[in-house]
Amino acid sequence: MPVELQNAVALSKALKQYTPDLAKETQKEIAKHLRKVVNRARGFVPAESPLSGWENQTGIWEYRAFNAGLMKRGIGYSTTPTKPNKRGFRSLATIFNKSASGAIYETAGRLNPQGLPPAQRVKKYRGGKFIQEWQTDKTVNKSANPNAGKQFINSMPPLVDSQQSNSAGRRTRKTKGRLMFRAWAEDQGRTTAAVVKAIQAANMTVVKKTNARGEVSFKGRDK
């Protein structure tokens, strides 16, 4: 789970200015811990598609077809600070799952545990009169099999909540998954603690070298 660090990007810049070797070592130390979570997450990718037909998609759906190799390669990490989001926060280190099939396997069933409801015929006003049309939007299952979504979700392992029951923060469906989120749950906060420790150690080195006040505190937004 995320930990808020104030002025952490300023610390990163100070490290590169005053102790460039330590900056590299700190990034390596952080990457070492992130890599463990990533490798664990990749290990949860099944060797074969959990549902027949998913891996044989063609045409416009081919990029979403099951592909174990692509799904594993899509899980990775970064130690480069991101740009500020709308709330002013940045991420110093991130773990991501960027393949379409990996994202599907990760999150299927979060919003609709029983799958999307089947499409219904609805009235629409066209050409000066009302006509009956099948729903075609993203909120319905357009498959000929009305239980397709439910069967797809039931073929997969259950979603795992990455947020520990005793941790701060609101628990939502967005903290659940089968790959990254499961790996993060099994990590039980060890990686977060190790990354914070590495940043704290680097901060103390900068303080000693510059005779300055501490760069990092653990509340608020990154500036």
The per-residue pLDDT for 219 is: 42
The per-residue pLDDT for 223 is: 43
CA 178 to chain centre: 11
Tell me whether residue 143 is in a domain: no
Q: For the range 209-215, what are the long-range contacts, defined as Cβ-Cβ under 8 Å and sequence gap of 24 or more? A: 209/18, 209/19, 210/14, 210/18, 215/7, 215/8, 215/10, 215/11, 215/14
The per-residue pLDDT for 38 is: 97
More confident residue, 70 or 81: 70
Mean of all residue pLDDT scores within the chain: 81
pTM for the whole structure: 0.77
User: Band of the pLDDT at 50, cuts 50, 70, 90?
Assistant: very high
pLDDT at residue 218 tops 60: no
Tell me whether residue 95 is in a domain: yes
pLDDT at residue 126 tops 90: no
Tell me whether residue 197 is in a domain: yes
The answer for residues whose C-beta is within 8 angstroms of residue 15's C-beta and 6 or more apart is 22, 23, 26, 202, 206
- Candidates 106, 101, 136; CA nearest to 119 is 136
More confident residue, 124 or 36: 36
The per-residue pLDDT for 9 is: 65
pLDDT at residue 44 tops 70: yes
User: Band of the pLDDT at 133, cuts 50, 70, 90?
Assistant: confident
Strand residue runs (E) in the chain = 75-78, 94-97, 121-126, 129-134, 160-161, 176-177
Cα–Cα distance between 130 and 136 in angstroms, integer?
Answer: 17
Say how many domains are in the chain: 1
- Candidates 140, 17, 15; CA nearest to 79 is 15
Compute the average pLDDT of residues 14-30: 78
Compute the average pLDDT of residues 86-106: 88
Tell me whether residue 51 is in a domain: yes
Tell me whether residue 42 is in a domain: yes
Domain range for residue 79? Answer: 8-108+156-210
The per-residue pLDDT for 113 is: 87
For residue range 143-197, list pLDDT tens digits in order: 777 788 889 999 999 999 988 654 555 556 789 999 999 999 999 889 988 988 8
Tell me whether residue 117 is in a domain: no
The per-residue pLDDT for 18 is: 62
Q: What is the DSSP letter of 155?
A: T
User: Band of the pLDDT at 62, cuts 50, 70, 90?
Assistant: confident
Tell me whether residue 92 is in a domain: yes
Tell me whether residue 182 is in a domain: yes
The per-residue pLDDT for 164 is: 63
The per-residue pLDDT for 7 is: 60
Asked which of 101-105, 176-180, 218-222 is least confident by mean pLDDT, the reply is 218-222
